Amino acid sequence: MRFGAGPGVYFCVLGGTMKPTMLLRVISCVLCVTSALAALGAAPAPGPEEAARFAREFREAEARRVLARADVLRRAEAAGVQRSQPFDIQHWDLALSVDPAAQSISGTVTMTFEPTQSLSLIRMRLHPRMDSSRARLDGSSIAGSREGANLLYRPSSPLQPGTTHSLAVTYSGHPVVSGSLGGGMMFASHAGVPSATTLSEPFDSYAWWPCVDDVTDKATMEMHLTVPAGMTGASNGTLTGVRTNADGTLTYDWREDYPLSNYLISANVTNYRSFSDLYHGLDGLTEMPIDYYVYPEGLSSASVTVSRVPDMIGFFARLVGEYPFLREKYGMVAFPWGGGMEHQTLTSMGDAYLGGSVRDFDGIYAHELAHMWWGDEVTCKTWNDIWLNEGFATYFEALWLAQKYGMDEGQIMDQYYDDGLYAGALKGSVYRKSGNRPFADTGAVYDKGAWVLHMLKPVVGEGPFYRALRAYRAAHALGNGTTADLRAAFEAEYGHPLDWFFDQWVYTPFRPIYHLAFTLGSDHVTVTVQQRQKHAVARRSQGKDTYYAWLPLWFHYTDGTEEIRAVWNDHRSQTYTLPTAKAVGSVTLDDGHWILKTVQ
């Protein structure tokens, strides 16, 4: 179902400055009285609500998953992970045999790498329950030792910078983290058929393959995935071949030539049925396959619900530039989990959402697709910066739903992406204080993170907003970005500091609480705005406990027209005397929902 787009609310950003120290642009807006809200209210409108409800269910499932995994995460940290090591990984080769019925994995993982300094110790991670039988360094056997989850290899003489080496680790075992809420390799069954699928974010790669768990060390990857007869092995990148082995097993050869972080590597094995669609690139020439791997019993439903995915790719590509992995593919693969995971070029999608029914799953699909730009091509540099993945994906999910249903951006943010509507949230800040628990506060990371982008747009203007996002993307493509990098990209477009904005919205928990009062004069209105929140603003030395913002005051005139009058607000209590040419009926605050707040 699709709403006809109404005339909409025009929310214009014009140039000018009113406060020299802040050098903000005035938000000076003309409101065209809209019928959009009324139209939405009158229409039989299950569409956006249903899509947003499923999107929220998905995020709630993700929050539950995170809680269930909290102990796993803590144990991973306790294992003594050393994320940053003095070498640069060039390539991963994963030659794996997976047997879903036996719930076993075995294989050899070969890491090609260059030391960045004299290297006498190579540290990899592998879950203690997985057996690592032998290893070869540059083709020669090397003895390893274990310290908890660490595999340690000491070359006979230090490896030197400027040289390239390969370390091949052979291992096997029965991955222990299992079940639909676990991480690592998940074993399950559907319609009586066993499956093995993976979910590694943030720290669970080691539960199914020997890895270096460093989100910043991206490398190309190939996977040679051997599966039982009758099953399909699906992974990242391009399928270069399928081999039938003497014992009847099949080996699926995959290549991912766009460097990726280790947590974005996935393996999926069951009796998948696949079908394909096409995305036509922005150049009008390039055709890219969109490949789906679904359970046979989900084939008919999935083929219905994915029909808008090509349009979604085009929508995002027009906003922030072409799909990042155009030479390969996009795709989705069903897995037994209550959410989605943006494995590079092949999102793992909960089987309820891909083949489970023909409901509208656009919110979830759009979220995971948006991660290809934000999360996969540009990956958070630290887990403290996880909002650069999740807040972005949530915002672009909202943009898709807003345009799909003809809703105003602020309207959809207010109705469906206010974190206060679920999970309590806003306990912490958008920027995570602890990188060890990146998903501990999904309200702040996902929803408030999306609000940060939504609020930045009117501050810098729509054109500069998308130019800044494209610049941030270009600067960190196939690499990693930080919150500071993003701020720098926006400041470059905006031309003025944005520390005040990031301090109050990204580094400060909670939100402002405003109280509005007004009195009517013959030719003016007197408006008093109070800030009633109790918390201080992080990192701010002056005006510590107040938010700085252009507040859109909505003047509702007695003749039925409306107008937005923006005022700069940065005190606990501020009174504005605003001239009016027409009789004012009432004054309200930010009816267009461009500021995350509570109004008392």
Closest separation in Å from C-beta 58 to Zn ion: 9
Question: What letters, b where the CB count within 10 A reaches 16 and e where it falls short, cover 527-550?
Answer: bebbbebeeebbebeeeeebbbbb
Cβ contacts of 245 within 8 Å, gap of 6 or more? 226, 251
Closest separation in Å from C-beta 310 to Zn ion: 21
Closest separation in Å from C-beta 498 to Zn ion: 25
Nearest to Zn ion of 348, 411 (CB atom): 348
Closest separation in Å from C-beta 371 to Zn ion: 6
Nearest to Zn ion of 187, 431 (CB atom): 431
Q: What is the 3-state secondary structure (H, E, C) of 243-284?
A: EECCCCCEEEEEEEEEEECHHHCCEEEECCEEEEEEEECCCC
Nearest to Zn ion of 450, 525 (CB atom): 450
Q: List residues near Zn ion by CB under 5 A.
A: 390, 393
Closest separation in Å from C-beta 81 to Zn ion: 22
Nearest to Zn ion of 213, 447 (CB atom): 447
**For residue 377, what is the enclosing H or E element?**
none
**For residue 362, what is the enclosing H or E element?**
helix 362-373
Using only C-alpha atoms, the chain has a radius of gyration, in whole angstroms, of 26
Nearest to Zn ion of 65, 127 (CB atom): 65
- Rounded to the nearest angstrom, the gap between the alpha carbon of residue 529 and the centroid of all alpha carbons in its chain is 35
Phi first, then psi: what are they for 242, rounded to 5°? -130, 125
Nearest to Zn ion of 368, 408 (CB atom): 368
Residue 429 identity (one-letter amino acid): S
Cβ contacts of 140 within 8 Å, gap of 6 or more? none
Q: Is the peptide bond before 202 cis (omega within 30 degrees of 0)?
A: yes
Between β-strands 219-227 and 238-244, what pairing exists: parallel, antiparallel or unpaired? Answer: unpaired
Q: How far is it, in rounded angstroms, from Cα 373 to Cα 375? A: 6
Burial (CB < 10 A; 0-12, 13-18, 19+), residue 498, is: buried
Nearest residue to Zn ion by CB is 393
Q: How far is it, in rounded angstroms, from Cα 522 to Cα 524? A: 6
Secondary structure E strands in 191-339: 193-199, 219-227, 232-235, 238-244, 250-260, 267-270, 273-280, 287-294, 330-335
Phi first, then psi: what are they for 142, rounded to 5°? -135, 135
**3-state DSSP helix/strand/coil % of the chain, to nearest 5:** 30, 30, 40
- Which residues partner with 100 through β-bridges? none
Nearest to Zn ion of 393, 596 (CB atom): 393
Closest separation in Å from C-beta 446 to Zn ion: 7
CB-CB contact of 391 with 365 (8 Å): no
**For residue 340, what is the enclosing H or E element?**
strand 340-341
- Rounded to the nearest angstrom, the gap between the alpha carbon of residue 330 and the centroid of all alpha carbons in its chain is 16
Q: How far is it, in rounded angstroms, from Cα 369 to Cα 376? A: 10
Closest separation in Å from C-beta 492 to Zn ion: 27
Nearest to Zn ion of 214, 376 (CB atom): 376
Closest separation in Å from C-beta 368 to Zn ion: 7
Between β-strands 267-270 and 232-235, what pairing exists: parallel, antiparallel or unpaired? Answer: antiparallel
CA angle, residues 199, 343, 95, in degrees to nearest 5 = 75
Nearest to Zn ion of 99, 390 (CB atom): 390
CB-CB contact of 166 with 90 (8 Å): no
| Token representation of residue 360 | 């509208």
Nearest to Zn ion of 393, 486 (CB atom): 393
Nearest to Zn ion of 122, 393 (CB atom): 393
In order of 72, 162, 306, the CA distances from 31 in angstroms are 51, 62, 37
Closest separation in Å from C-beta 59 to Zn ion: 8
Closest separation in Å from C-beta 337 to Zn ion: 13
Nearest to Zn ion of 390, 419 (CB atom): 390
Closest separation in Å from C-beta 339 to Zn ion: 8
Closest separation in Å from C-beta 116 to Zn ion: 31
Nearest to Zn ion of 187, 396 (CB atom): 396
Closest separation in Å from C-beta 413 to Zn ion: 17
